[in-house]
Amino acid sequence: MILHLTHQGAALRLRQGRLLLELEGTSLLSVPARQVRQVAVWGNVRLSNPALGFLLRQGVPILFLSLEGFLYGVAGAFPDLPPQLLRAQFATEGLPLAKAFVEGKLRSAKVLLERYRVAEAFEIARALERVNVASRLETLRGIEGEGSRTYFAGLAQVLGTHGFAGRTRRPPADPVNAALSYGYAVLLGRVLLALRLAGLHPEVGYLHTEARRQPALALDLMEEFRIPVVDAVVVSAFRRGEMGWSHVERRGGGVYLNEEGRRIFLRLLEERFLQEAWHPLGFRKPYGEQIEVQAQRLKAAILGKARYTPFYFKG
């Protein structure tokens, strides 16, 4: 069970083997404590010391996020990273793995645009051909950037009626961008945890630049799942009328999901994580497990035990 704590001003407490979410003396949620596998704390929600201590002792990771969709960090009783694996991360040639991350992202972008018969899918196909022959990381990053701009231009044709004209962030300019940013924060948390469980250092990456407190490797692996998990949910939710302008609010010069929007979108995302999908290698697992599989396969590739195959939408 994954808990998303979004009620502002509420507190999570431990009482008689149950986790209780309370606000001004009113119980909002009561669940068996031992059934909780992950907690996401959104904005101003407090955890009592007994609740926090119990979760840490049980090995339950706790994600701390802003209401705008920024991941502050992850708390958990994670084991120390194996020195030999950390050395292998630094010694691994980055370009082949970086190519795999970009390939996975662009393949999914092509499939999604083809589903809606958007012409930009052809340009994505051409970008994929360039990925295979890129000989420098800077060239690859340029291809990925161009491919992303092309993809979002195509997506604007699908979601333009909802005010979406392209990717905007910090701040998001419309409901679609608000949902994308929020969903990417949830996804980043899941990827971070998968890498930690695999024993990999999330800040030692290959495609994204390394910077202070930037989880470069998590951002790398996340590229494979942005479109199959988050974007697919966003497109479906807006086209089916499950989300729209009534689910956002304007503040701080941007557009952000309101309380109802967060509740609906988190439910849709968690349903997506439980939905099964085919891996390019031929096996079928829920998206949430596919992320963990990819983290383990990435570990194997770093240790030189197997070739890394990216995850992407099957066309």
CA 214/CA 204 separation, integer angstroms? 9
Report yes or no: 6 and 185 within 8 Å, Cβ to Cβ.
no
CA 163/CA 161 separation, integer angstroms? 6
pLDDT digits (tens, 9 = 90+) for 196-229: 888 898 888 998 877 666 889 999 999 999 999 9
pLDDT digits (tens, 9 = 90+) for 142-167: 999 999 999 999 999 999 888 888 89
* Mean pLDDT, rounded, for 231-247: 94
* Mean pLDDT, rounded, for 4-27: 86
Given a cut of 70, is residue 17 above it in pLDDT? yes
Asked which of 84-93, 110-119, 234-243, 293-302 is least confident by mean pLDDT, the reply is 84-93
Which pLDDT does position 211 carry in this prediction? 65
Given a cut of 80, is residue 237 above it in pLDDT? yes
Report, in this order, helix, strand and coil percent for the chain, each rounded to 5.
55, 15, 30
Contacts of 274 (CB under 8 A, 6+ apart): 286, 287, 288
Which pLDDT does position 212 carry in this prediction? 65
Which pLDDT does position 315 carry in this prediction? 60
Which pLDDT does position 38 carry in this prediction? 85
* Mean pLDDT, rounded, for 42-59: 87
- The DSSP 8-state label assigned to residue 41 in this structure reads E
pLDDT digits (tens, 9 = 90+) for 124-143: 999 999 998 888 999 999 99
Domain annotation for the chain: domains and CATH numbers = 2-60 (3.100.10.20), 83-302 (1.20.120.920)
Judged by phi (left if over 0) then psi (alpha if -120 to 50, else beta), residue 8 lies in beta
Mean pLDDT of the chain: 89
